Structure 1
Amino acid sequence: MKKNKNLFVCLMLAGILLVSVLIGTVAARRQETPASKELTVVTSFYPMYIAAENVIGDATDVRLENLSEPQTGCLHDFQLTPEDMKLLSTADVFIINGGGIESFMKDVAAAYPDLTIIEACENVQLLAEGNDENAHAWMSIAAYETQVQR
Structure 2
Amino acid sequence: MDNKIESFKSVMGNYPTGVTVVTAFNEQNEPMGLTVNSFASVSLDPLLILWSIDKNAGSYEDFLKVERFSVNILASDQGDICQLFASRVADRFAQCEWEKSELSLPVLKDSLATLQCKVHQKVEAGDHTIMIGEVVDIQNNEKDPLLYHKRTFGQIPKTFYPQS
TM-score, normalization by structure 1: 0.22
Greater fraction strand:
2
Task: Select the structure with the greater relative contact order (CA < 8 A; seq sep ≥ 6).
Answer: 2
TM-score, structure 2 as length reference: 0.20
